[in-house]
A and B are shown apart, each in its own frame.
Chain A
Amino acid sequence: MASISIRNLVKRYGNLTVIPDLNLEIADHEFVVFVGPSGCGKSTLLRIIAGLEPISAGELFIGDRRVNGVPASQRDIAMVFQDYALYPHMRVYDNMSFALELRGTPKAEIDMRVKRAAALLHIEPYLDRKPKELSGGQRQRVAMGRAIVRNPKAFLFDEPLSNLDAKLRGQVRAEIKALSQQLKTTMVFVTHDQIEAMTMADRIVVLQNGTVQQYDTPEAVYERPTNQFVAGFIGSPAMNFFPVELQGEQAVFAQDGSAAPIDAESSSRLRKSGKAVLGIRPEHFAVAGDAAAGATVTVKLVEPLGSDTLIHFDLAGAAAIARVEPSLRPKVGDRVTLRPQPAHIHLFEAESGTVLR
Chain B
Amino acid sequence: MTDAPTTDRWIRWLNTIQLVIAGIIILTPTAWMVMSSFKPSFEVTAYPPTLIFSPTIQNYIELTRTTPFFNYAINSMIVTVGSTSLGLLFGIPAAFAVSWTRISWPAILTLAARMAPGTLFLLPWYVMFRQVGLIGSYTALILSHAVITLPIVIWVLLPSFDSIPRSVFEAAQVDGCSVTRILWRIAIPLVGSGIAVSAILAFVFSWNYFLFALVLSNGDTKTLIAAAFNFVGEGSTQWGALMAAATLIALPPLLLAMLVQRWLVAGLTLGAVKG
Chain A residues proximal to chain B, CB less than 8 Å: 50-52, 71-75, 77-79, 81-89, 98-99, 102-103, 131-132, 146
B173 touches A88 (CB 8 A): no
CA distance A71 to B174 in the complex (A): 9
- The residues of A that contact B62 with a CB separation of less than 8 Å are none
Inter-subunit contact A89/B190 (CB<8 Å): yes
B275, A72: Cβ atoms under 8 Å?
Answer: no
| 24 contacts across the A-B interface (CB closer than 8 A) | A51-B173, A51-B174, A52-B170, A71-B173, A71-B178, A73-B173, A73-B175, A73-B176, A73-B177, A75-B174, A79-B170, A79-B174, A82-B167, A85-B165, A85-B170, A85-B171, A85-B275, A86-B168, A88-B190, A98-B175, A99-B176, A131-B275, A146-B171, A146-B175
Q: Which of B189-204 contact A (CB under 8 A)?
A: 189-190
User: Are B176 and A81 in contact, CB atoms less than 8 angstroms apart?
Assistant: no
Flag if A81 contacts B170 (CB, 8 Å).
Answer: yes
- Establish whether residues A132 and B172, one from each chain, have CB atoms under 8 Å apart when the complex forms: no
Contacting residue for A73 out of B165, B167, B174, B274, CB 8 A: B174
Residues in B lying within 8 Å of A, measured CB to CB: 165, 167-168, 170-178, 181, 185-186, 189-190, 273-275
> Which residue on chain A has the smallest CB distance to residue B166?
A85
Residue from A79, A85, A102 within 8 A of B168 (CB atoms): A85
Given contacts A52-B174, A87-B172, A102-B177, are A81 and B190 in contact (CB under 8 A)?
no
A83 touching B165, Cβ below 8 Å: yes
- CB contacts (< 8 Å) of A84 on chain B: these are 275
8 tightest A-B CB contacts, nearest first: A85-B167, A99-B175, A85-B171, A72-B173, A102-B176, A79-B174, A89-B189, A81-B167
CA distance A85 to B165 in the complex (A): 8
Chain A residues, CB < 8 A from B185: 98
Residues of the A chain whose Cβ atoms lie less than 8 Å from the Cβ of B181: 102
Q: Apart from A83-B275, A86-B168, A98-B185, what 13 extra A-B contacts exist at CB < 8 Å? A: A51-B174, A52-B173, A73-B177, A78-B174, A79-B170, A79-B171, A82-B167, A85-B165, A85-B168, A85-B171, A86-B275, A88-B274, A146-B175
Work out how many contacts link A and B, with CB atoms closer than 8 A: 70
Shortest CB–CB separation between residue B41 and chain A, in angstroms?
55
Give CA–CA (A320, B178) in the complex, Å. 54
Shortest Cβ distance from residue B84 to the other chain A in the assembled complex, whole angstroms: 24
Q: In the complex, A73→B173 CA distance in Å?
A: 5
A87 pairs with B168, CB closer than 8 A: yes
Of B171, B177, B189, B273, the residue contacting A81 (CB under 8 A) is: B171
- Distance of A77 Cα from B173 Cα, bound (Å): 10
Is the beta-carbon distance between A50 and B273 smaller than 8 angstroms? Answer: no
| Most interface-central of B170, B174, B189 (chain A CB within 10 A) | B174
Cα(A77)–Cα(B168), bound, Å: 16
A99: chain B residues at CB < 8 Å are 175-176
Q: Which residues of B contact A102 (CB under 8 A)?
A: 175-177, 181
- When C-beta atoms are compared, the residue in chain A nearest to B170 turns out to be A52
Contacts of B178 in A (CB 8 A): 71, 73
| Chain A residue with the shortest CB-CB distance to B175 | A99
Chain B residues contacting A146 (CB-CB under 8 Å) are 171, 175
- A83 and B185 alpha carbons, distance in the complex (Å): 20
**Contact A77:B174 (CB < 8 A) given known A83-B167, A88-B168, A132-B274:** yes
Nearest chain B residue, comparing its CB with the CB of A89: B189
Determine the distance from Cα of A100 to Cα of B173 in the docked complex, in whole angstroms. 13
Chain A residues contacting B174 (CB-CB under 8 Å) are: 50-52, 72-73, 75, 77-79
How far does the Cβ of A273 sit from chain B's closest Cβ, in whole Å?
48
Q: Is the pair B167, A72 in contact by a Cβ cutoff of 8 Å?
A: no
Interface-central residue, A71, A86, A89, A103, by most chain B CB under 10 Å: A89
Nearest CB in chain B to that of A152: its residue? B174
Chain A residues with CB under 8 Å of B274's CB are: 88, 132
Q: Out of B171, B173, B176, which one reaches A87, CB within 8 Å?
A: B171
Measured CA separation A81–B174 after assembly (Å) = 11
Most central of B177, B181, B273 by chain A CB within 10 Å: B177
Residue of A nearest to B273 (CB): A88
A103-B176 contact given A83-B165, A83-B275, A132-B274, CB 8 Å threshold: yes
CA distance A39 to B171 in the complex (A): 22
Residue on A nearest B168 in the bound complex, by CB: A85
When C-beta atoms are compared, the residue in chain A nearest to B182 turns out to be A73
Q: Which residues of B contact A52 (CB under 8 A)?
A: 170, 173-174
| A83 cross-chain contacts in B, Cβ below 8 A | 165, 167, 275
Contact A88 B275 (CB under 8 A): yes
Chain B residue at minimal CB-CB distance from A143: B171
CA distance A140 to B174 in the complex (A): 17
B171, B173, B177, B181: residue with the most chain A Cβ atoms closer than 10 Å:
B171
Interface residue from A72, A78, A88, A131 paired with B170 (Cβ < 8 Å): A72
